[in-house]
Amino acid sequence: MYDGETLTNICIRVYRDSPKDPGAPITAEYVMTELSSFLAYYDFDQKRLPDSTAKIRHRNQTILVKDHDSEEDVIMLEGDSDPYFQDAGKNNVIPTHIPYAVGVMVVQPGSDVRSGRIHTFFSEDYSPLLHPRLKDRSVILLKDFIHRVMNIVSANPKMHIVYFHNFSAFDGIFLIKHLVMHHSSLTLKPLMRNSRLYELNVYSGKKLLFTCRDSLNLLPGTLAKLGESLCPELGGKGSFDHAKLEVIELKDKKDEILTYLKQDILLLGGIMQKAQKLCWEQYSVDIEEVITNSSLSLRIFRSLFYDASSYPIHIPSRNEDKYIRRGYYGGHTDVYIRSGTDLYYYDVNSLYPFIMKSFSMPGGKPVWKGNLANADLSNLFGFIEAYVYCPAEIKRPFLPYRGEFVGVYYSEELKYAKSLGYTVIPLSGYIFEEMESPFKSYVSTLFESRLQAKKEGNDALSFVYKILMNSLYGRFGINPESTLTEICDFQRYRKLMQDPSFVSAYNISKENYIVSYRSNMDDEMYQWEPPKNSAVHISAAVTANARIICTPLYQGMTATTLTLTRLCWVALSLRRDSPR
C-alpha cells in the first residue's frame, strides 16, 4: 500500500479486555514487542494474519516436587503440560512444539492424591485480542506456570525437586528453550550425558530455585503401565484423539483436554508417591537422592548388602578401563535362518540377576601381565587379549568373528570357546582374583521378596523389586567418556566448537546455545577423572557369563540339554506364539 513512500510515524492504540488480570504494564517496550510479534506473522501479500487452523498433536508431561528432608515430607508439586506439533502448512514454517495447556498439583505424603487440587493454565483463557497468536498465548501460560512453581517452592524452601515424565527425551529441551528466552534472570545448569538430559538445575543468582528430573529414569514405562502396576485405584490413563485436533477447536474442547490433562497429573502424582513410599519403607532410601533406577539400586546395594572388607570393588584406572572395555559388549543378535513357522521362543527370566547371584566375579586389584604366550588359559582369570581361530566347521560362532582374529575377552568366555573347538592363545591381560559374587545376598533377597509380593498379589511392590534387581549390573559399566552439555553464550560456543571434543550445538535463542562436547576423552591432552562407582570388569563379566549361558540355545540344543544347573531359580519358558 505504501510502496515507495517513507513512513515517518505510526500511532498505535492498545486496549486491554481483562480488568481482573492487568498483566504486564503497557510500556513502549511492551508495545514494540507486541508489534514485532505481529509483523513476524503478518502475511503482507494477503494483508492478513496467516490461517490459524494448523493441525496439532498432544503430548503430556508431568512434574512433581518433593521435600528432601524425611519420609514424612515427601512430595510437593506435580504438573503436566500438553505440547502440540504445529504443521508447517502452506507457509513452509519450520515445525515447532507449542504447549497449549499445563497444570500443577501439590501432593502430600500419605494423603489421597485424588483429593489434591490441580491448577491448570489453558492457552484459550488468555486474550486473543491482546495475543492473537497461539504461540504468544503459550509463552504466557508457561510463564504463569513457572511462576506458580517458583511461588510454591518459595513458600516451602525444603521443596525443590521437580519430576517430569519423559523429560529427557522431549520436554527438557523444550523447557530449557523457554526458560532461556523468557526468564533471562534465571541461570540454568543441565546435566546431560550422551544427548540425554538427566537433570536441570534452575538458579536465581547462586540460589537454587528448583531441580527438574525425569520420572522415566527412575521408573521406566508408560504412564498407563506404571499406573496399572503402582496405583490401579486411580483409574486408567484415558485417551484423547490428538491427531485430529485443530487450533480452532481448542476453545470448544477445553473441558475434554483438561480432563485428560488432570488424569495424567493424578496418575504421575500417585505413581511417584507410591514408589517413594515403597523404597523408603523397604530400604530407608529416598528416591529423591538419586537420578536413575541404576543409581537407586546401587544406593540400596551399598547401604544394605555390600561388604567392602570381604569384596572391595576396584575402580579401574584409565588404562585398565580402556583395556577391559574392549571386552565389554552385549548379547548375540545373529540371524541364521531368515524365516520359519511354528518356531520356539526361549526366554531366561532375570538372566543378569541370575548371573550376578550364581557366578564368581573378578575381585581385588588387577595385575598386568604383558606376556601370556606360554600361560595356561585354564589358570587365568580376568580379561585377556588373545589370538583366536574359529574353525570353519563351527557354523554358529560363539565369539563375534569368523576365521582368525585378535581381541580382548573375559577369560571364562575364552575357556568356553576353546571347549567348542576354538584355538585360543593368550597374549596379555589384566588378571583378577576369582571371588564369590558380592551380589548373592542382594539378588536373593530381592528375588524372594518379589516372589512373595507376587504371591500376595502386590503388583506394585513386585514391580519395584524387578526394577531394582535388573538395574544394578549396568551401573558398574558406566563409561567414563561421555558427552556433556552446557548452555552458554556465543563466545563460549565459539571456543567449544573449535575444540576437538566438540560434538554438536543448537541455537536456542539469539545469544544462547546448547553445546555438547566429549569429556574424559581417550587423549593424553585431556584430563581423565575416574568415575566414582564405575567398575567395568563387573559388568563385562556379567554379560560374558550370560552369553555363555545362552549359547546352547542358538547352537541348536533343546531345553532339556541346557547347561542351566539351577532351574529352580531360573525359569525357562517355551512359547509357540512368537515367530522369532
213-268: pLDDT as tens digits: 888 888 888 888 888 888 899 998 888 877 677 888 888 899 999 999 899 889 99
pLDDT of 577 above 80: no
Range from 66-75, 422-431, 456-465, 512-521 that averages highest in pLDDT: 422-431
Terminal Cα distance for the chain, rounded: 68
Note the pTM of the prediction, 2 decimals.
Answer: 0.74
Q: What is the pLDDT of residue 66?
A: 31
Q: What is the pLDDT of residue 382?
A: 96
Sheet holding 75-86, edge to edge: 118-122, 96-106, 75-86, 61-67, 159-164, 207-214, 196-204, 187-193
Residues above pLDDT 90, as percent of the chain: 25
How far is 300 from 53, CA to CA, in rounded Å?
52
Q: What is the pLDDT of residue 391?
A: 93
For residues 123-146, average pLDDT: 88
For residues 198-224, average pLDDT: 89
How far is 410 from 413, CA to CA, in rounded Å?
5
The per-residue pLDDT for range 324-366, each reduced to its tens digit, is 999 998 887 777 788 888 888 777 788 899 999 999 999 999 9
Q: Give the confidence band of 428 by pLDDT, cuts at 50, 70, 90.
A: very high
Report the DSSP beta bridge partners of residue 363: 433
pLDDT of 414 above 90: yes
Q: Which distant-in-sequence residues (6+ apart) come within 8 Å of 397 by Cβ?
A: 334, 390
Q: What is the pLDDT of residue 429?
A: 96
pLDDT of 432 above 90: yes
Q: What is the pLDDT of residue 69?
A: 33
Element (DSSP H or E) covering residue 102: strand 96-106
How far is 98 from 134, CA to CA, in rounded Å?
8
Residues above pLDDT 70, as percent of the chain: 76
For residues 390-418, average pLDDT: 93
Q: What is the pLDDT of residue 511?
A: 82
The three state secondary structure string of 127-188 is CCCCCCCHHHHHHHHHHHHHHHHHHHHHHCCCEEEEEECCHHHHHHHHHHHHHHHHCCCCEE
Q: Give the confidence band of 439 by pLDDT, cuts at 50, 70, 90.
A: very high
Q: What is the pLDDT of residue 81?
A: 59
Cell of 352: 543378569
CB neighbour burial string for 224-244, b if at least 16 within 10 angstroms, e if fewer:
eebbbbbbeebeebeebebee
- Of 9-18, 426-435, 494-503, the poorest mean pLDDT is in 9-18
Beta carbons of 95 and 115 less than 8 angstroms apart:
no
The per-residue pLDDT for range 51-62, each reduced to its tens digit, is 433 333 333 333
pLDDT of 79 above 80: no
Beta carbons of 304 and 297 less than 8 angstroms apart:
no
**Cβ neighbours, 10 Å, residue 354:** 23
Q: Give the confidence band of 553 by pLDDT, cuts at 50, 70, 90.
A: low
pLDDT of 70 above 60: no
Q: What is the pLDDT of residue 58?
A: 33
Residue whose C-alpha cell reads 543441565 in the numeric block? 190
- Alpha carbon distances (Å) from 409 to 388, 476, 555: 10, 18, 20
Number of residues that make up the chain: 580
- Of 166-175, 201-210, 220-229, the poorest mean pLDDT is in 166-175
The per-residue pLDDT for range 6-45, each reduced to its tens digit, is 767 666 666 655 554 455 566 666 666 666 655 555 555 5
How far is 415 from 383, CA to CA, in rounded Å?
12
- Extract long-range pairs of 13-20: CB within 8 Å, 24+ residues apart: 15/129, 15/130, 16/127, 16/130, 17/127, 17/129, 17/130, 18/127, 18/130
Higher pLDDT, 437 or 170: 437
